Copies of this chain bind each other. A is one copy, B any other.
């Protein structure tokens, strides 16, 4: 597969899986089907839209190819009719989100590589693409943002994968390989954090302050 083909596949994958998580948040907020579609589409294309705007790309990816939105809408309706089959929707949400994060970080890294940016911008675009869709989902849907969960690897997983990809690219590895390594590392770090509690030390010198 060509590098451009891999990028398109990653974008489609991230859109589909993030859409499922957005719809799950809609189910927790007890919205109607159009609300499911809204939350799914917001989550699915939010990070990539911000990436495209910041990089000044000629056209935002889903404006050029509206199929992305139709996929998100289909995923939303699928969840509307099937979410009750799952015992814990929150657990499902968190695990789907981990896969979407991994795929979207790789998609963001890949676009920045393709446009010829240096390592700092490559890493940032991986993190932006990976995390801002979910962040918008959580802020709009009134959930505690996953990026802020204490004692879990989330931003760190995204950062680790994006950094690895930038490093492999710099070392001369093929870009396709770098992206796949990136997605694997993000997911392994995130999954390890969810299962075995892997984490970095957090800031905790004293009890948290009350909101001032």
Contacts and interface: CB of A to CB of B under 8 A. Distances in A.
B155 A35 contact: yes
Interface residues of A, number: 67
Interface string A176-206: 0000000000000000000000011111111
A209 B27 CA distance: 10
Contact of A56 (B58, B124, B159, B211): B58
A26 B70 CA distance: 37
A95 to B, nearest CB: 12
Interface of A: 26-38, 41, 49, 53-56, 58-60, 63, 66, 69-70, 80, 83-84, 89-90, 94, 117-118, 120-121, 124, 127, 131, 135, 139-145, 147-148, 150-151, 153, 155-156, 159, 199-206, 208-209, 211-212
